Amino acid sequence: MVEKIPGHRPGQYPVWAWYYPRPDLRHTGHLPKNSQGMLLKCQVPTSRVLLSEFCAWHHVLNQWYLPLTKEEDNVADEEERIWRKKHWIGPKYWEARLARATPSWQRIFDLRAINKSKLIGPVDRIQATISYIKLDEVVKVTPFTAR
């Protein structure tokens, strides 16, 4: 966020939110069962919001390469196979794997490219990280009991 949101400071924890679709509170997993929660609808200036594709974010979490095409996926798999064959799977292997994967992670922010990708598209869940939310940016509050 420091790189993508002007004025966002290192160490400033962002607020995580759903951008699209609105969460379905009839489903489980939002909070522990029978917990009271609040769904906030906010209108925040886009200058403080960073959108990313939720499923593609799992490539970052798992330190995987994020291909957009089957060809890219095949090349990454082949590089992986060659590296494993030549080297013991130790620290150098993981460093090299991470070095190959890290640049591809910027793609989580390119919703158009993901949407066009037959491999990982279409975009169906968009998450947002927000620098901060002001009280007057909260436009609706819906209480709910978690299932």
C-alpha 21/C-alpha 8 separation (Å) is: 26
- Asked if 139 contacts 79 with a C-beta cutoff of 8 angstroms, the reply is no
Give residue for tokens 């794997």. Answer: 97
Give residue for tokens 């069962």. Answer: 33
Q: What is the pLDDT of residues 83-133, one digit of tens each?
A: 777 776 678 778 888 998 999 999 999 999 999 999 999 999 999 999 999
- Average pLDDT of 58-86? 89
- Asked if 3 contacts 99 with a C-beta cutoff of 8 angstroms, the reply is no
Tell me what percent of the residues of the chain surpass a pLDDT of 70.
98
**139 pLDDT above the threshold of 70:** yes
Q: Does a cis peptide bond (omega within 30 degrees of 0) precede residue 122?
A: yes
C-alpha 18/C-alpha 20 separation (Å) is: 6
